Amino acid sequence: MQSFRTELENPIVEKDIIDLEKKIREFREGKIHDEKFRSLRLARGIYGQRQPGVQMIRIKLPFGKMTFKQLLRIADVSDKYASRNLHLTTRQDIQIHYVSLDRTPELWAELEQDDVTLREACGNTVRNITASPTAGIDPKEPFDVSPYAHGAFEYLLRNPVNQDMPRKFKIAFSASDEDTAFSFAHDLGFIPKINASGERGFKVMLGGGLGAQPILAHIVEEFLPEDRLIPYIESTIRVFDRYGERANRNKARLKYVIQKLGLDEVLRLMQVERTANKVKTYKINIEAVEVPVLPLPIDFGDVSITNPLGYEQWLATNVFEQKQTGFFGVYIKVLTGDIPTDQARKLVALLQPLAGDEIRATQNQGLLLKYIRKEALITLYNGLAELGLAAPGFDSVADVTTCPGTDTCNLGISNSMTFARVLEDLIYNEYEDLIYNRDITIKISGCMNSCGQHSMAHIGFHGSSLKAGAKVLPSMQVMLGGGVVGNGVGRAGDRVIKIPSKRATQVLRDLLDDYKANSNENELFNDYYDRQGKDYFYQMLKPLADLTTLTDEDYVDWGHVESYEKAIGVGECAGVVIDLVATLLYESDEKMEWANESFANGAWADAIYHSYNVFINSAKALLLDKGINSSTQIGIIREFDAQYIDTHEFELGSSFNDLVTQLNQHEPSEAFATRYKELATGFLASVKAKREAILQS
């Protein structure tokens, strides 16, 4: 690969990109182990696709916000490096596909020219911080949560506490009690509140998560003052980093730490960590997210509507009045979240005179436009209709959420993208009145991992497989009864039945027909589900699961013509476990360099945390020599004491626990950073000497 020169004003970003290029070169030369390199590139938004030799690039858009210029930049990058398509995700990111690994540094540099980053978009990091797309214009919001999501993003980006955690960590901010950002399904979820004194704060949800085993978050604070938001997030992450599982990634989320230790103990540990936090209070700059440049008034004259019925449906389902008088928000329903780049450019050209210069990606893979004047709505609709972006029914039964499934994801078991399109066609053609129904949601994932949010849908499907004799056929697990209750409370769907994929359309027909025929007047879907009970729906759908009536069509997945073959790759969405001694010591050297750099820049807390990781990595390396692979950082500390200190095989003058856990017993001052870094430097040198002696013997 050839070197390139960046032209970035931010030296930290420039260093990051140059470092990525260097690491790619060393990987190509065999100097960095594949497992270590995978972890490194994932933390920079580079994810191996199902197709060999190419990468998916995840572009991080904090709380889904982008300007017209940023969207155009992303489209240009996709044209130059990827497949001329932009895929909107359920975490308000944009993904582009089929990118060469060697070109990723150059791609990143071009994105950063318009302040768009890849950093920490994948891997064992704090992922994209999401928020209600309506934040800032929502008539029901106590205040705009956008600056708080932005402040958390800025504070955590490149922060040492979240660079190599046990697994991913997700944070969401909802705009109001309607909880449209799904706070209950996140490691940390926040809902804005104003107390009796008129002060701002947040209701806090802790330890939620979807995946194969969805767990709803615990409500742990009814009112957390706004200046304690950032310290609270940092304390939580520090506890997760130390106590989280690192060997079995299926048990590596914060929700399992809470299961293992208990909620009260986790909250106590978080309290202990506050001593060592970089900040004790943190004032959020509420002006950080500026009001976008607004469109000027235009005399549109007498504009005719190209499709009067379509316009009325669109107005009823996709348009709402903002809290700012005289302006409207407009949703764009995006089929399977895919926007070709030429369509994206035409969209920006349409919007520039009509809307505020801010677009938000939504959690159901659509877009939200802001600050449209009433007199511009007809012109906007006509333009969107011409682009194929005026479909009514945003966030309705007809707006199906889906992950990429087997199209590009290593973990995909069965197709979800084509299936989603088929279901949407079914709704528009057979149940058109349901485009007005925002009670029922349909969500699909290509596997059990819930990237398509199937476990919190009223009607959810996830990809699976069934065996019929010697043959395997694609299937869908049907889940019912999930959804948002509100104010931090949610529901996880029940697994009801597994059926061949090609019969899933009939599943949807049966469910909708029965709901229409047997629900009480104005009865919501989940109330109807609770009243009837899970077994009622199992018995209803059981004939569709009968494998004695299979046809040839049942062996062919959606979007395919050949018979199904189950093929699951190694998933990368949660990062990897690195257990090689040499790699761990290599990492220790690197973290020591980072500690020294942070110290030189006066970042005492960062220097301390990097030094802490030197202790942990180095101790783990020696433990591996004894065949001991502890799965948590706290376990490494305890095992090192048991195997090396208590046996006097390694002399420290104290226990390893007492040495390392000074971390959370001192304020992050220059004096402590100096002492702690010196101790880490000495420990690393001793470990290397011990390791060399082992090799020599």
Give the pLDDT band of residue 550 (cuts 50, 70, 90).
Answer: very high
Task: Give the separation between CA 581 and CA 293, rounded to whole angstroms.
Answer: 54
Query: What are the residue boundaries of the structural domains of the chain, listed by start?
Result: 11-112, 130-273, 308-387, 409-555, 581-696
Average pLDDT of the chain? 93
pLDDT at 578: 35
For residues 329, 334, 339, 344, the Cα torsion angle rounded to the nearest 10 degrees is: -20
CATH number of this structure's domain 409-555: 3.30.413.10
Compute the average pLDDT of residues 11-34.
89
| pLDDT at residue number 40 | 84
* 389 within 8 A of 347, measured Cβ to Cβ: yes
Mean pLDDT of 136-160: 97
pLDDT for the residue numbered 576: 38
Report pLDDT for 5.
56
The pLDDT confidence band at residue 213, using thresholds 50, 70 and 90, is confident
Question: b vs e for 537-564, b when ≥16 Cβ sit within 10 Å of the residue's Cβ?
Answer: bbebbeebbeeeebeeebbbbbbeeeeb
Per-residue pLDDT, 351: 98
Residue 643 is classified by DSSP as: I
Question: Band of the pLDDT at 157, cuts 50, 70, 90?
Answer: very high
- Is residue 359 predicted with pLDDT exceeding 90? yes
CB distance 174 to 138 below 8 Å: no
| 413 contacts 464 by C-beta, under 8 angstroms | yes
Task: Give the 3-state secondary structure of residue 453.
Answer: coil
Question: Which tens digit of pLDDT belongs to each residue from 183-208?
Answer: 999 999 999 999 999 999 999 999 99
* Radius of gyration from C-alpha coordinates of the chain: 26
With a CB cutoff of 8 Å and minimum separation 6, the contacts of 356 are 291, 292, 293, 294, 295, 327, 369, 370, 371, 372
Contact 226, 245 (CB under 8 A): no
Domain 11-112 CATH (choose: 2.40.100.10, 3.90.480.20, 3.30.420.40, 3.40.630.30): 3.90.480.20
Q: What is the pLDDT of residues 493-537, one digit of tens each?
A: 999 999 999 999 999 999 999 999 999 999 999 999 999 999 999
Give the pLDDT of residue 575.
39
pLDDT tens figures, 568-579: 554 555 433 333
Mapped onto helix, strand or coil, the DSSP state of residue 652 is coil
Q: What pLDDT is attached to residue 662?
A: 95
Is 50 a residue whose pLDDT tops 90?
no
State the pLDDT confidence band at 261, using cuts at 50, 70 and 90: very high
The CA distance from 124 to 9, in Å, is: 28
Q: 21-55: buried (b, 16+ CB within 10 Å) or exposed (e) per residue? A: bebbbebeeeebeeebbbbbbbbbbbbbbbeeebb
Annotation: CATH topology of 581-696: Four Helix Bundle (Hemerythrin (Met), subunit A) (1.20.120)
Answer yes or no: are the C-beta atoms of 164 and 180 closer than 8 Å.
Answer: no
- Dihedral angle at the C-alpha atoms of 331, 337, 343, 349, nearest 10 degrees? 30
Which phi and psi angles does 266 have, rounded to 5°? -65, -40
Tell me, what's the pLDDT at 286? 96
Asked whether the beta carbons of 72 and 613 are under 8 A apart, the reply is no
* Stretch among 65-69, 80-84, 451-455, 605-609 having the lowest mean pLDDT: 451-455
Cα separation of 464 and 524, whole Å? 29
Alpha helices in 121-273 (DSSP H): 146-156, 229-243, 254-261, 263-273
The answer to whether 534 and 494 have CB atoms below 8 angstroms apart is: yes
pLDDT above 90 covers a percentage of the chain that reads 82
Rounded Cα distance, 289 and 131, in Å: 13
Both tokens of 60, joined, read 């991080």
Cα distance between residue 65 and residue 63, in whole Å: 6
Task: Identify the CATH assignment for 308-387 out of 3.40.50.360, 3.30.70.3340, 3.30.565.10, 3.30.70.20.
Answer: 3.30.70.3340
pLDDT at 274: 95
Quote the percentage of the chain above a pLDDT of 70: 96
pLDDT for residue 565? 65
Q: How far apart are CA 650 and CA 690, in angstroms?
A: 9
**Same CATH topology for 130-273 and 409-555?**
yes
Q: What is the pLDDT of residue 490?
A: 97
pLDDT value, residue 577: 36
User: Which tokens is 413 given?
Assistant: 């078991």
Q: Which tens digit of pLDDT belongs to each residue from 296-325?
A: 999 998 999 999 999 999 999 999 999 999
653: number of Cβ within 10 Å: 7
**What is residue 158's DSSP assignment?**
T
Residue found under tokens 């909250």: 267
- pLDDT tens-digit map of 94-130: 999 999 999 999 999 999 999 999 999 999 999 999 9
Summarize pLDDT for 612-643 with one digit per residue, the tens: 999 999 999 999 888 898 889 999 999 999 99
State the distance between the two ends of the chain, measured CA to CA, in whole angstroms: 41
Res. 282 pLDDT band, cuts 50 70 90? very high
Torsion of CA 383, 385, 388, 390, to 10 degrees: 110
pLDDT by residue (tens digit) across 583-597?
Answer: 788 889 989 999 999
Q: Check if the beta carbon of residue 20 is closer than 8 Å to that of residue 44.
A: yes
Indicate the pLDDT class of residue 6, thresholds 50, 70 and 90.
low
The mean per-residue pLDDT over the stretch 397-406 comes to 89
Q: Quickly list DSSP for 374-416.
A: GGGHHHHHHHHHHHT---S-TTSTT--EE--GGGT-TT--S--
For domain 130-273, the CATH superfamily is Sulfite Reductase Hemoprotein, domain 1 (3.30.413.10)
Longest alpha-carbon distance in the chain: 90
